[in-house]
Amino acid sequence: MPHVDVTVISDAICPWCFIGKRHLALALADLPDEIAVSVAWQPFELNPAMPPGGMSRRDYRTAKFGSWERSLELDAQVEAAARRAGIEIHHERMTRTPNTFATHRLIWLAGGHGVQQSVVDELFARYFVNGEDIGDARVLADAADAGGLYGVDVPAFLESREGVAEVRGALAHARRLGIGGVPMFIIDGRTALSGAQPPEVLREAIVGAS
């Protein structure tokens, strides 16, 4: 049986990464039965200088885009793209833009327990649908539990140094690759596709690598 490895370089607060994950799921559902695919998520920080506690989303977006009105226009464009992909994004529920380093550590931990996909799903849903602060340790613990990461004391993990070096190393690797935006889909280590590619493009790349 052909096997294809898909690496997704992503940030948990990137709406196009949420949309891209949906597109990938649609692509995988449309693959021939004889192709097996493994998906792994690697970190990227859209805001590496974000304070550890995050900041007001309105303040952050106003400073980044020049006005809150411009931010709202961009949000509307993203929400329309999400609806076309069959998912919801509720920017009006978001009040904080978090620092995502702890989030990436949790995703790394989930990967070691075989539940990375479901934990990533939980994080995207909590941030983009529910408007929760995924930089908060309590929210991360709830997401881990809902995503099937059982038997792990997530607050204790986040207080430790476990996974810190690994996530920093992966972030540095993304920089060395010259990645400046996400999502980035790397198919079998050979083909790199940038952005929330349509399902048919992802499907074609996976079939071509098999």
The token duo for 36 is 């097996």
- Residue 97: DSSP 8-state: E
Closest CA to 49 of 71, 68, 34, 64: 64
- ω into 183 cis (within 30 of 0): yes
Span 155-202, pLDDT tens digits: 999 999 999 999 999 999 999 999 999 999 999 998 999 999 999 999
The 3-class secondary structure across 160-181, one letter per residue, is CCCCHHHHHHHHHHHHHCCCCC
Question: Other C-beta atoms within 10 Å of 131: how many?
Answer: 16
Bridge partner residues of 61 (DSSP):
none
Span 80-118, pLDDT tens digits: 999 999 999 999 999 999 999 999 999 999 999 999 999
pLDDT at 12: 97
What is the average per-residue pLDDT within 131-136? 97
Q: Is it the case that residue 1 has pLDDT exceeding 90? A: no
Between helix 116-124 and helix 15-29 the angle, nearest 10°, is 130
pLDDT at 68: 97
Closest CA to 23 of 191, 198, 186, 188: 198
> How long is the chain?
210
Between helix 68-85 and helix 15-29 the angle, nearest 10°, is 10
Question: Other C-beta atoms within 10 Å of 18: how many?
Answer: 27
